Amino acid sequence: MSFDVDVEKRLGERRIAACFRSEAGITALFGRSGAGKTSVLNMIAGLLTPDRGHVVVNREILFGDGVNLPPEKRHAGYVFQEDRLFPHYTVAGNLTYGRRSHEREAEWMSFDAVVDFLGLAALLERMPISLSGGEAQRVAIGRALLSAPRFLLMDEPLSSLDAARRDEIMRVIERIRDELKLPILYVSHDRAEVDRLAAQIVALD
């Protein structure tokens, strides 16, 4: 499991650049707000095209050397800063949205296993608008896990939560790291959070 990222992008007046390699379970991308951390994640996910550089995850070239895979072919499990649940689908509909796109054999975690893992059983018929922040973020994590990702991108998944919920989601992330062995790139501006979770820290400024 590894990230090998070297990207550069000019957005208006700002120049965003990140260059790092990591073999750690959780790699933290750490830096003050506005340093372009989210843009780096977007470039790795394929939502933003770098001006130059390369993105290689688990030895697969996602960008660079004339390759530029569209986001749907990159198998990234992206957990956004806000939950970004689809408002017109139930929780169950959100969870299964990414599932159909992949062969069933590739589905490495069953629906029931994810529901169980994240404690979502009671929420399945609810609409996203009725969920609390912690519940919504758990659903968003479950949705990403069910899309059979090869790596996870997490963009300050705790920032919209209160202290109690933060601890709950933090434990979920630790379990993903320890039990599912998925490489995780974790964006945060909170030093304590980063120290607790990540084995390698990449500073961005």
Binding site for other proteins (CB under 8 A): 42, 45-47, 70-72, 74-78, 80, 82, 84, 86-88, 97-98, 101-102, 127, 129-130, 143-144, 147
CA angle 74, 80, 65 (to 5 degrees): 30
Residue 86 vs 110, nearer CB to other proteins: 86
Closest approach of Cβ 203 to other proteins, in Å?
25
Closest approach of Cβ 130 to other proteins, in Å?
7
Residue 38 vs 201, nearer CB to other proteins: 38
Tokens 């956004």 correspond to 80
CA 126, 132, 136, 139 torsion-angle sign: negative
Closest approach of Cβ 163 to other proteins, in Å?
26
Closest approach of Cβ 151 to other proteins, in Å?
11
3-state secondary structure of 92: helix
- C-beta separation of 197 from 28 below 8 A: yes
- Residues counted in the chain: 205
The token pair at 173 is: 């992330």
